[in-house]
Every structure is written in structure tokens, then in C-alpha cells.
């Protein structure tokens, strides 16, 4: 046989193998897609309705909002030590690095907070403390009476002592820096291995109400269970009360969303120092395909949709807080501030129009003493997870982990503050419920990440169909 005929046959065989692989990938995704449809557990909403609502209404608007100055600058401390184990060093990979924003680039209204509106000549300690408290108030209208200003300072003292779902960074720390989120996007950095695994393992094993005798699916530390494939875990999970099931689904959904971001913004190649980022279908299949993950991938994606519903509900509930004239998304540029608030209120109107919201009233609805104890346990477990984010070795992963955890924590704070939000006065601050600028920025950016994840799922679906 001639060399040319051998070459042609080899090429034909290779092409056939590629076609077979592509068809197999398509079939695998069809099987996974069949599992990723219909009504979600623990709520009366279907995945198809969420896809349509998010991709048509929410996604385009939230992307425009997050490009605004008020939402693109986030102050964060990336140098806080891990409180749970000895620091094993930071990732030295170039893409793990976060470029802080020079103070000169931060809009004056964000950088100065509201100190310029509240400060007096600070001749004694109380006035100094008042100025420091006023410096935190980044979402306040500039035309306030002296009485309102004093009330805001009183609120700030109250808010400092209030219970949070998250461990908040001290924005006054010399280690806290502004980061331009648009210039430091969440994407695959190469951070993986024992350090990354220890973070997620600590979150799931120590903070999700799970006994050590129950093993999560795909946990490499679990002993072989034969043909179990994790079903015993889900039998255990379904036996939990609603609140603890919800907690696990929120964490699993957040984990799934982060993994989608990494697959969608992956370093595909680098030529002459010019990186090309894009969707990595192979990585997506590895993390989410039913056959690759023993049916765990589609379950995790369903939890993403569940998390989306919870944060969507929080946005619809907090709309009245922002609708008040006293609340202004202040950056120092009055025209942009007006446009930003108008766009935010438009998004809130859309969130309130969604017909199948998650019903948070079903949670903590038992006897008052038991419900209060369970709610506190829920809060402390989540707060612990926010502290674990300081153990992430990659700065960029830490940045986005802290932001998205704080955003979810803020959503939970909103959902369980219904009475306080209903009683908000129109033209004066309330001690019952307030949000700092840090919480507002985290809340909207975290929801923006979930919205992007659901949009990227549609993109991966199209890419896989092209390969089939």
C-alpha cells in the first residue's frame, strides 16, 4: 500500500473518530439537558421560565448596571490571614494577581464616602467617631437636614453591632484597597490542587450540617461505596428540615456558578504574550456532564437555579428600600448617579414582575424558640463560610469568592428582615434595616454573576449542539 493511501486512510479514520466523539458529546449533553429541566425542588418554579426571564429581561440590564462607577469599585481586604489553618502561601501564577485601583482613579464620592457631608471640626473623640461612622455611608442623598445626618450616625453605630450573615471587611483597615471589578474579571487562573480543595472541603464537610459518616458524591476522601453513586447522601439530604436543605443547595449553587465562570472565561491559548480567553467546552463537560460526574453535574446546575431564585427574591423584597428619595447611589457625579438609580429601579421592577418567586416564609416557621435557634445556627454557619474565603490562596479567586459570599449573605439578611423593610420611613433613616455601600455592591454583583452563569449555560448548550 502506498504511503499516500495510508495517509488518506489514517486521516479518514481520525475524522471518523472526531465525528464519533462529537456525536458522543452531543448525546451526553442531551442526556444532561433532559435532567436539567422542569420544576425545581423546594419551590414552585421551572427552569425554562428562569432561562427566558433571565436571558431576555435581566441579563442585559444587570450588565449595564454593573458597568456603572458605583458598582464597579469594591473595597476589599485581600491580606486578612486565614483563621482556620496555617497559610500555605499565595498563588504565584500571574493570572491570580489582583491589580488594585489607584486612589486617584476612584470617584471622589465613593472614595470620600459621606464624610464631606457630615464632618464638623472634630475637637473631641465623639466627633471623630461620628466622622468615621459617617464615612461608611456611601448610599446617602447629599441634601439632608442636620437631624437626618445625626440619625444616620446613630444608625451606623447600631449597624456596627447588628448581626450579619457575613464577616465584613473593615474598610478603614490600611490593608483594604479599592478594586476595579471590570479590570479584574473572574476567570480561570490555574489555581487548583490541595489548597483549593481544602477550602471547598472545609465548607461542605464542616459547615453544611452534615455528619462525617455521610459522604458527598465525588468526594475523593470518601471510601468506595460500590454502586451507591452518592444516592445515600441524597437520601440523607431529603431527610433534613427545609432550612438545612436550602443551606446546602445555596452553597452547591454558588460552587456551580463559580465553576461555570471558570469554564466560560478560560485561557485557551497565549501567543506572543497575548492571551485568548473563551469558553472551554471540554472543561465544562468534565465538571457538569452527567456521565462524567455520575449524575452529580445536573444536580449542581439545578442548585444554581435555586440560588438564582433566592437572590432574585431578595432583590424584589429590597426594592422599597431603594425607591425612597433619601437613598442615592452617590459617586459625586449627579447625572450618572441619577441614571444609575433609574436603571437599578428598572431592574427591581422586573424582579417584582417575576411570577414564581421563592417563598422564604416557609423557612423558620416552626415554634418561635426552635425557629430562632435554627435561624441563628443557619446564620453562624454561613458567617463561618465567609471567613473561610480568607483562606483562598489565589487573590483573584479570593476577591470574587468574598464578593459573591457577601452578596449572598446580604440577600439572606434582606429575606429575614421583612418587617423592618416594611416599616422603613420615607424621608429619614431607620435603625431597623440599613445596607452599607459594600453590601449593595456585593449584592448586585453577586446576582450579576448568577445571571451570567445562566446565560453562559445557554452558550455552552449551543456550542455542544454545534459539535454534535
In contact, 355 and 46? CB cutoff 8 Å: no
Cell of 355: 411570577
125 is in an annotated binding site: no
CA dist., res. 408 & res. 424, Å (int): 22
Stated as kind and residue range, the H or E segment containing 74 is strand 73-77
CA dist., res. 352 & res. 167, Å (int): 29
Stated as kind and residue range, the H or E segment containing 268 is strand 266-271
81 phi and psi, to 5 degrees?
-70, 150
Query: At 228, is the secondary structure helix, strand, or coil?
Result: coil
Query: At 170, is the secondary structure helix, strand, or coil?
Result: coil
- DSSP letter (8 states) at residue 451: H
455 is in an annotated binding site: no
Selection from 163, 161, 200 nearest residue 409 by Cα: 163
In contact, 301 and 287? CB cutoff 8 Å: no
Cell of 91: 498563588
391 belongs to the catalytic site: no
255 is in an annotated binding site: yes
Catalytic residue, from 166, 208, 391, 397: name it: 397
43 belongs to the catalytic site: no
200 is in an annotated binding site: yes
Query: At 269, is the secondary structure helix, strand, or coil?
Result: strand
Indicate the burial class of 288 (C-beta count within 10 angstroms; 0-12, 13-18, 19 or more): buried
Catalytic residue, from 101, 208, 263, 394: name it: 394
Q: Alpha carbon 270 to chain centroid distance?
A: 29
155 is in an annotated binding site: no
212 is in an annotated binding site: no
Stated as kind and residue range, the H or E segment containing 200 is helix 194-207
**Torsion sign over Cα 382, 389, 399, 63:** negative
Q: Annotated binding site, which residues?
A: 187, 189, 200, 252, 255, 287
Q: Annotated binding site for FAD, which residues?
A: 187, 189, 200, 252, 255, 287
Residues tagged active-site:
394, 397
Amino acid at each position: 500500500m502506498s504511503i499516500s493511501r495510508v495517509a488518506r486512510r489514517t486521516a479518514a479514520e481520525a475524522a471518523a473518530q472526531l465525528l464519533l466523539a462529537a456525536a458522543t458529546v452531543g448525546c451526553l449533553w442531551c442526556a444532561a439537558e433532559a435532567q436539567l429541566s422542569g420544576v425545581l425542588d423546594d419551590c414552585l418554579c421551572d427552569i425554562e421560565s428562569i432561562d427566558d426571564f433571565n436571558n431576555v429581561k435581566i441579563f442585559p440590564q444587570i450588565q449595564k448596571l454593573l458597568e456603572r462607577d458605583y458598582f464597579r469599585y469594591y473595597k476589599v481586604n485581600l491580606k486578612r490571614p486565614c483563621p482556620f489553618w496555617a497559610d500555605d502561601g499565595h498563588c504565584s501564577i500571574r493570572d491570580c494577581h489582583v491589580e488594585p485601583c489607584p486612589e486617584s482613579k476612584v470617584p471622589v464620592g465613593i472614595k470620600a464616602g459621606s464624610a464631606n457631608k457630615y464632618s464638623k471640626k472634630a475637637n473631641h473623640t465623639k466627633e471623630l467617631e461620628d466622622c468615621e461612622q459617617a464615612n461608611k455611608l456611601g448610599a446617602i442623598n447629599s441634601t439632608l437636614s442636620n437631624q437626618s445626618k445625626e440619625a444616620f450616625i446613630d444608625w451606623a453605630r447600631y449597624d456596627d453591632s447588628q448581626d450579619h450573615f457575613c464577616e465584613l471587611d473593615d474598610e478603614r483597615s490600611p490593608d483594604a484597597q479599592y478594586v476595579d471589578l471590570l479590570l479584574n474579571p473572574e476567570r480561570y487562573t490555574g489555581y487548583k490542587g490541595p489548597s483549593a480543595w481544602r477550602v471547598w472541603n472545609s465548607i461542605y464537610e464542616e459547615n453544611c450540617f452534615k455528619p462525617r459518616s455521610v459522604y458527598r458524591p465525588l468526594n475523593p476522601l470518601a471510601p468506595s461505596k460500590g454502586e451507591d453513586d452518592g444516592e445515600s447522601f441524597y437520601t440523607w439530604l431529603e431527610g433534613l428540615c427545609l432550612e438545612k436543605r436550602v443551606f446546602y443547595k445555596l452553597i452547591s449553587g454558588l460552587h456551580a456558578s463559580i465553576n461555570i465562570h471558570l469554564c466560560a472565561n478560560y485561557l485557551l491559548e497565549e501567543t506572543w504574550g497575548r492571551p485568548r480567553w473563551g469558553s472551554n467546552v471540554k472543561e465544562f463537560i468534565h465538571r457538569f456532564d452527567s456521565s462524567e460526574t455520575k449524575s452529580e453535574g445536573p444536580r449542581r446546575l439545578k442548585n444554581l437555579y435555586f440560588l438564582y431564585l433566592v437572590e432574585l427574591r431578595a432583590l424584589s423584597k429590597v426594592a422599597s428600600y431603594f425607591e425612597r428619595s433619601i437613598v442615592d447611589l452617590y459617586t459625586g457625579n449627579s447625572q450618572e448617579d441619577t441614571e444609575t438609580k433609574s436603571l437599578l429601579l428598572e431592574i427591581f421592577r422586573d424582579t417584582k414582575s417575576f411570577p414564581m418567586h421563592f417563598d422564604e416564609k416557609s423557612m423558620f416557621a416552626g415554634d418561635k424558640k426552635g425557629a430562632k435557634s435554627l435561624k441563628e445556627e443557619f446564620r453562624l454557619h454561613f458567617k463561618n463560610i465567609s471567613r473561610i474565603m480568607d483562606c483562598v490562596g489565589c487573590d483573584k479567586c479570593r476577591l470574587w469568592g468574598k464578593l459573591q459570599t457577601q452578596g449572598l449573605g446580604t440577600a439572606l439578611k434582606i429575606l429575614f428582615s421583612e418587617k423592618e423593610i416594611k416599616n422603613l420611613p420615607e424621608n429619614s433613616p431607620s435603625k431597623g434595616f440599613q445596607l452599607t455601600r459594600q453590601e449593595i455592591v456585593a449584592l448586585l454583583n453577586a446576582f450579576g454573576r448568577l445571571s451570567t452563569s445562566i446565560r453562559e449555560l445557554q452558550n455552552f448548550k449551543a456550542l455542544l449542539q454545534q459539535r454534535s
